[in-house]
């Protein structure tokens, strides 16, 4: 037997009803002495560790879904799933489970899904032991069918029996034929009944029924039925939206018809879940758990199929970076990648790792470097979002790339400097993009997520690189706005606010506050790198010019920067401050503040109280 047939991913359902990936491995069924029975074992393909050891319980309800999934519950709130790479492997393990339980492998569920109290209640009702008899599928029976479907929703055992009856008789397709007839006849009453019927069938929460309902042949008629909610005066126009408004754009033609079909299906099913179906009540919250799982595993499959198609992704990258690509096309390509990356966030860590490693291998970072420097605001914004996914995934990967490119490129076009320039040039009055970029820069320069091994110290190498190639770009606006050209020499240390001209533009003040926030972070985390930079550039003196700003928030940022430096109790910093008479701007700011008891007043007093307590000067 080939390894791939038994290759599985193990999933558990968390408290938010989302599937968590517990790892990839190979499954086997064997007798386990400690558990005293046949059990399912999954060993991790990476190191052989045991990912799952689960006894095949004769009374547990196992479900087979979508040909490659086996799902079951081991406790009241502990659901498990095995997702097989190949159908053959799923079939083999399913046969083993059915063999232990004495079931025919052709069934999709091995037990009735009921609790003990309900089982006892139904034991006294022998008429419930057979399948539910469905009314004939005719127009004059729609009300009876609707009553039947809605009546079973409160009973797990009757839901199961109705689902089996619907499946065995191909009933759903017959119902959808009646829907077409009702629409043609403008039979409003019949359409209202069909809404209740189809909604009820969805709440049966059965994967086998979903596979029929969400097939290409049926899904638009299912959506059509759900347009005719009796509570609405006019039917919704969901089909019109899905067929005319929501356009599927193939930025590069997708040749795999199965992949294209899966993308269409997932979008439409997600639309049904998010837009069409009402928010479930507390009594219905678990009715659609299988629908959530259906969408989740579809997304896993789509991302896997796309990342395995390197020809497709390579073509996307090639067009994205080609100078001949027109603006509209490039915008579509970047938006595709943004959506692709957003899609990947539904995946669990192992899946995301494989996804981003594929993108890195194909050259996502050099491509982003090009598009982030373009004039188109939409393209830049989408590229920033993609960059944020990459930084969140692996700051080390981004750092390694920028250090390598520094050996072949000028400082101006380094990726980090492109990011800094985007931050500085943000035209948004609230600097929304700049705040996002500042957060990404902070992640990249944070030593806490830098690797240190015996052969290589990422922290030392990257910080050396950053302070040589990038820091001057980051501090340029600060140095420009505190230069003698901007603030007359007499006003650099000490003056009243009426005569100073240091930076009064609100947007500039916001930007400088962001830069100071990042520099304060550097003071706390970068020790000698930032110390050398502050000394060589006389940076603190320039920062303290901002104590004269009419924007109190900026003056507070400048004071906070100084407070962090003093808080280090470093002898070099102390000598630098006293020799340069750098308390004078702080004292002047306090005097200018007068008798006002505000945040600036409190912050200055706290600074001097700290100095008094620790006897620094």
In a domain, 206, yes or no: yes
> What span, in angstroms and rounded, lies between the C-alpha atoms of 380 and 375?
8
Whether residues 63 and 201 share a domain: the answer is: no
Supply the pLDDT for residue 3: 64
Last residue of a domain, one of 227, 261, 287: 287
Whether residues 85 and 138 share a domain: the answer is: no
> pLDDT band at residue 485, thresholds of 50, 70 and 90?
low
Q: Please tell me the total count of domains within the chain.
A: 3
Residue at token pair 């550039």: 537
Supply the pLDDT for residue 486: 61
**Residue 65 pLDDT > 60, yes or no?**
yes
- CATH number of the domain within which 570 lies: 1.25.10
Q: What is the DSSP letter of 84?
A: E
pTM (global) more than 0.95: no
Q: Which domain holds residue 158?
A: 130-287
- CATH number of the domain within which 25 lies: 2.30.29.30
In a domain, 258, yes or no: yes
> What span, in angstroms and rounded, lies between the C-alpha atoms of 225 and 193?
9
3-state DSSP helix/strand/coil % of the chain, to nearest 5 = 60, 10, 30
In a domain, 368, yes or no: no
**Residue 150 pLDDT > 80, yes or no?**
yes
For the record, the structure tokens of 83 come out as 């997702």
Supply the pLDDT for residue 491: 46
In a domain, 154, yes or no: yes
Whether residues 617 and 560 share a domain: the answer is: yes
Supply the pLDDT for residue 455: 52
Dihedral class, residue 363 (left if φ above 0, else alpha if ψ from -120 to 50, else beta): left
Of residues 607 and 130, more confidence is placed in: 607
Whether residues 97 and 134 share a domain: the answer is: no
Q: What are phi and psi of 244, to 5 degrees?
A: -115, -45
Q: What percent of the chain has pLDDT over 70?
A: 89
Q: What are phi and psi of 19, to 5 degrees?
A: -85, 125
> What span, in angstroms and rounded, lies between the C-alpha atoms of 157 and 159?
5
Whether residues 270 and 143 share a domain: the answer is: yes
Whether residues 13 and 94 share a domain: the answer is: yes
Whether residues 479 and 591 share a domain: the answer is: yes
Q: What is the tens place of the pLDDT at every residue in 546-576?
A: 999 999 999 999 999 999 999 999 999 999 9
Supply the pLDDT for residue 475: 96
Stretch among 243-252, 376-385, 432-441, 521-530 having the lowest mean pLDDT = 243-252
Triad 404, 409, 413: Cα angle to 5°: 105
Whether residues 489 and 538 share a domain: the answer is: yes
Query: In sequence order, what are the residues at sequence separation of 6 or more whose Cβ sits closer than 8 angstroms to the Cβ of residue 552?
Result: 598, 599, 600
In a domain, 306, yes or no: no
Q: What percent of the chain has pLDDT over 90?
A: 40
In a domain, 23, yes or no: yes
Whether residues 270 and 231 share a domain: the answer is: yes
Whether residues 92 and 20 share a domain: the answer is: yes
Helix (H) or strand (E) holding 72: strand 69-75
> pLDDT band at residue 387, thresholds of 50, 70 and 90?
very high
In a domain, 269, yes or no: yes
In a domain, 330, yes or no: no
Q: What is the DSSP letter of 448?
A: G
DSSP 139-156: GGGHHHHHHHHHHHTT-H
């Amino acid at each position: 037997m080939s390894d791939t047939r038994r290759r599985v991913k193990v999933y558990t359902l968390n408290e938010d009803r989302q599937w968590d990936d517990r790892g990839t491995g190979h499954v086997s069924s064997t007798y386990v002495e400690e558990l005293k029975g046949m059990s399912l074992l999954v060993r991790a393909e990476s190191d052989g560790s045991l990912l799952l050891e689960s006894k095949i319980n004769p009374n547990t309800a196992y479900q087979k879904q979508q040909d490659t999934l086996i799902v079951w519950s081991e406790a009241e709130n502990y659901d498990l799933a095995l997702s097989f790479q190949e159908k053959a492997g799923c079939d083999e393990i399913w046969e083993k489970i059915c063999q232990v339980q004495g079931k025919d492998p052709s069934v999709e569920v091995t037990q009735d899904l009921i609790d003990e109290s309900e089982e006892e209640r139904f034991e006294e009702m022998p008429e419930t032991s057979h399948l539910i008899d469905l009314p004939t599928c005719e127009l004059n029976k729609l009300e009876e069918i609707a009553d039947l479907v809605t009546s079973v929703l409160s009973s797990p055992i009757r839901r199961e029996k109705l689902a089996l009856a619907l499946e065995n008789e191909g009933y759903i397709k017959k119902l959808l034929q009646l829907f077409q007839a009702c629409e043609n006849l403008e039979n409003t009453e019949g359409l209202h009944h069909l809404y209740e019927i189809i909604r009820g069938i969805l709440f049966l929460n059965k994967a086998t029924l979903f596979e029929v309902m969400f097939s290409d042949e049926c899904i638009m008629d299912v959506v059509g039925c759900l347009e005719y909610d009796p509570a609405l005066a006019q039917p919704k126009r969901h089909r019109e939206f899905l067929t005319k408004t929501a356009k599927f754009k193939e930025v590069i033609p997708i040749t795999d018809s199965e992949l294209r079909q899966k993308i269409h299906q997932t979008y439409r099913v997600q639309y049904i879940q998010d837009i069409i179906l009402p928010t479930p009540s507390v009594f219905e919250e678990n009715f659609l758990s299988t629908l959530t799982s259906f969408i989740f595993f579809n997304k896993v499959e789509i991302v896997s199929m796309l990342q395995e198609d390197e020809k497709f992704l390579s073509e996307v990258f090639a067009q994205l970076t080609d100078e001949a690509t027109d603006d509209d096309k490039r915008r579509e390509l970047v938006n595709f990648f943004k959506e692709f990356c957003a899609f990947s966030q539904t995946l669990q860590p192992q899946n995301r790792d494989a996804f981003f490693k594929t993108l890195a291998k194909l050259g996502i970072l050099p491509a982003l470097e090009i598009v982030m420097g373009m004039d188109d605001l939409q393209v830049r914004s989408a590229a920033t979002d993609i960059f944020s996914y990459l930084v969140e995934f692996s700051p080390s990967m981004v750092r390694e790339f920028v250090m390598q490119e520094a050996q072949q490129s000028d400082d101006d076009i380094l990726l980090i400097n492109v990011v800094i320039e985007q931050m500085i040039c943000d035209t948004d009055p609230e600097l929304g993009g700049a705040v996002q970029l500042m957060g990404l820069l902070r992640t990249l320069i944070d030593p806490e997520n830098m690797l240190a091994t015996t052969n290589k110290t990422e922290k030392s190498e990257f910080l050396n690189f950053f302070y040589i190639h990038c820091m001057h770009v980051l501090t340029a606006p600060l140095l420009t706005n505190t230069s003698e050209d901007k603030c007359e020499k007499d006003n650099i240390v000490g003056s009243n606010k009426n005569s100073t001209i240091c930076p009064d533009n609100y947007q500039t003040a916001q930007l400088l506050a962001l830069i100071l926030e990042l520099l304060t972070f550097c003071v706390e985390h970068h020790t000698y790198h930032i110390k050398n930079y502050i000394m060589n550039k006389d940076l603190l003196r320039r920062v303290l010019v901002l104590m004269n700003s009419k924007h109190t928030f900026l003056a507070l940022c400048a004071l906070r920067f100084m407070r962090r430096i003093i808080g280090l109790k470093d002898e070099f910093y102390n000598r630098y401050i006293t020799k340069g008479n750098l308390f004078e701007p702080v004292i002047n700011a306090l005097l200018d503040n007068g008798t006002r008891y505000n945040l600036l007043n409190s912050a200055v007093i706290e600074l001097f109280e700290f100095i008094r307590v620790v006897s620094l000067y």
